[in-house]
Amino acid sequence: MTAADQLSRSALLYLSRQEGLKDLATRMRPFRKMASRFIAGETLEEAVDAVKALTARGLMASFDHLNEAVKTPEETRDEVRQYQRLLARIDQVGVKANVSLKLTQCGVLFDKALALENARAVVEDAKRRDSFVRIDMEHSAVTQVTLDIVRELHAEFGEPHVGAVLQSYLRRTEADAKALCQERVRIRLCKGAYLEGPDVAFPDKADVDANFVRCMKVLLDSGVYHGIATHDERMIDATLDYAAKQNLPRGAYEFQMLYGIRRDLQERLAKEGHPVRVYVPYGRHWYPYFMRRLAERPANLWFVMRNLVRG
């Protein structure tokens, strides 16, 4: 990444947290149109249609109802109800899908006990339906509390029903990966999408990638079913090479990618017989998620500029 790319990434991640811009952007038609590349729709039924289409292409899914800006206990309870409806709908439709949940949706920023209670209600429902809840990882201020809550839910509901996410840009992640694997917690390994300082995160992409490969090996050695979440072909090749060296069968782990990104790669891996899961975000509060996707790839910013100029 060049210095200019790094600057635009930081600026976009800063803007992703600006509430005023969120209201403006979500009302602008060109912005909404662009966001639809990464967001499966604003309603549950639109997301269900997107997942049916993925299923037809041999892909699994993880639904994510977007809403990181909940501010009251009542709003967090609405999120729980939203997830309960979602789990029921997955059962009805019969698609191969689980759910991803953010603890900010559950109220972790203002009441940790409430966040645990809300996440527990979702995981309890998932277990009843023999489904799985992935607790997404957010900015580093909530890393420890997120892992604490995952551990508590894992002890209560068991390995097949709840799992964690680790980000290879964090310096602490290799140690977290080793500890969670020993405890048999299922992990999604990704690079990390938030704005972090050099005290907690590696500033250089080369170090983030090297840590991804180190952590991937920890995961694959553990005998637990993990998710390798990346669109980076070098990371995917490193995973395939290591799995072959360790004689791991296809299906010992899954690849995961985001809705709207590298569909060709998603399909290629699925056709080669690897389980591939696509993360399918939906809902009205898509602005911060969309901005993080823009920040990941400087070329996306030019795509936005062109569309805004065209109107």
SS3 state at 153: helix
- 188 included as an active-site residue: yes
For position 257 contacting ligand FDA by CB under 6 A, the verdict is: yes
Choose the stretch contacting ligand FDA; rule: CB under 6 A; options: 118-126, 215-223, 238-246, 257-265: 257-265
Q: Rounded to whole angstroms, how far apart are CA atoms 107 and 248?
A: 39
Per-residue binding string, ligand FDA, 57-96, x by CB under 6 A, is ----------------------------------------
Half-sphere exposure of 182 (CA within 13 A, CB side): 5
Among 90, 180, 201, 258, binds ligand FDA (CB under 6 A): 258
Choose the stretch contacting ligand FDA; rule: CB under 6 A; options: 8-16, 116-124, 151-159, 183-191: 183-191
Query: In the beta sheet, which residues pair with residue 186?
Result: 163
Q: Single out the catalytic residue among 125, 136, 176, 209.
A: 136
Shortest CB 175 distance to ligand FDA, Å: 18
Tokens of 114: 């409430």
Among 162, 165, 220, 276, binds ligand FDA (CB under 6 A): 165
**Each residue of 40-53: b (16+ CB within 10 Å) or e?**
bbbebeebbebbee
Tokens of 42: 């604003």
Nearer to ligand FDA, 201 or 218 (CB): 201
Half-sphere exposure of 292 (CA within 13 A, CB side): 17
Q: Rounded to whole angstroms, how far apart are CA atoms 257 and 260?
A: 9
Residue from 258, 263, 265 nearest 239 by CA: 265
Query: In the beta sheet, which residues pair with residue 98?
Result: 62
Q: Rounded to whole angstroms, how far apart are CA atoms 55 and 96?
A: 7
Residue from 71, 67, 136 nearest 98 by CA: 136
Residue 280's H or E segment, with its range, is: strand 276-282
For position 293 contacting ligand FDA by CB under 6 A, the verdict is: yes
Per-residue binding string, ligand FDA, 125-164, x by CB under 6 A, is -----------xx---------------------------
The answer to whether 16 touches 291, Cβ cutoff 8 Å, is yes
Q: Rounded to whole angstroms, how far apart are CA atoms 13 and 311?
A: 24
Nearer to ligand FDA, 125 or 196 (CB): 196
**Each residue of 134-157: b (16+ CB within 10 Å) or e?**
bbbbbbbebbeebbebbbebbeeb
Nearer to ligand FDA, 78 or 232 (CB): 232
Among 35, 170, 229, 270, binds ligand FDA (CB under 6 A): 229
For position 190 contacting ligand FDA by CB under 6 A, the verdict is: yes
Shortest CB 74 distance to ligand FDA, Å: 25
CA dihedral for 303, 165, 259, 107, sign (positive or negative): negative
Choose the stretch contacting ligand FDA; rule: CB under 6 A; options: 67-75, 143-151, 155-163, 253-261: 253-261
For position 274 contacting ligand FDA by CB under 6 A, the verdict is: no
Among 180, 193, 224, 228, binds ligand FDA (CB under 6 A): 193
Per the annotation, where are the binding residues for FAD?
137, 167, 191-193, 205, 230-231
Q: Which residues bind ligand FDA (CB under 6 A)?
A: 136-137, 165, 167, 188, 190-194, 229-232, 256-258, 261-262, 279, 293, 296-297, 300
Catalogue the active-site residues: 136, 188
